[in-house]
Amino acid sequence: MIDARGMACPQPVLLMKAELDKTTEGVVSITVDNKGSCINVKNFCEANGCTVSVKELADGCFQIDAAKGYDCAIVEKQPESAANVVVFVTGECVGNEEPELGKMLMKGFIGNLKHVSPLPKTVIFVNNSVRMVTLNLEVAETVKELEALGVEVLACGACLNYFNLVDELKVGKVSDALTVANKLFGADKVIRL
């Protein structure tokens, strides 16, 4: 049992990854003390082929059990796009001189992503841009359209925790720093906003 209580992102995911890397077949368990870390570890394990169960403990912590090597499911191959383009959204605004104009420009940019070719493979929201997939319902609806077209949408778990928005996520999945780093380093092209 890994005890990751009190550890910040991405430490719980890294501890789980290290233990899963040593395991061919079995169950690896970890305890975390916040919902963001719970979601990050769960998503990481599922993305790496594990069957996952989560149990909320009496003290408010979460126990995540990841079974590796037992699942015989056939994973459907996703169609490949022409390029692995990742859009990395680091704030609510384009530029910083005129915040209201910057928010309007960002909304327009996000809205037009569905019209570009090739579509981005992933859109990642970090820092205060997580407000666009939580509190900003208009932008969240636009991002849902992208997701419906097959674009993966990720929101930084540590950022959601920081702004107390984990339970407000309207679209996409909560992600962790390791997954984000892998998406950025594995991309053919990264567009940073």
Domain segments of the chain: what residues? 2-68, 85-192
CATH class of 85-192: alpha beta
Let me know if the fold of 2-68 is the same as that of 85-192: no
Report how far residue 63's alpha carbon sits from residue 61's, in angstroms, rounded to the nearest whole number.
7
The torsion angles phi and psi of 75, rounded to 5 degrees, stand at -90, 125
Instruction: Judge whether 179 and 173 are in contact, CB under 8 Å.
Output: no
How does DSSP classify residue 111? Answer: H
Report how far residue 39's alpha carbon sits from residue 28's, in angstroms, rounded to the nearest whole number.
16
What pLDDT is stored for residue 71 in this prediction?
54
Report CA torsion sign: 53, 171, 122, 190. Answer: negative
Q: What is the pTM for the complete model shown?
A: 0.72
What pLDDT is stored for residue 82 in this prediction?
57
Site of tokens 């870390």: 37
CATH class of 2-68: alpha beta
The residue ranges of the chain whose pLDDT is under 70 are 70-82
Output the DSSP codes for 97-133: SSHHHHHHHHHHHHHHGGGSSSPPSEEEE-GGGGGGG
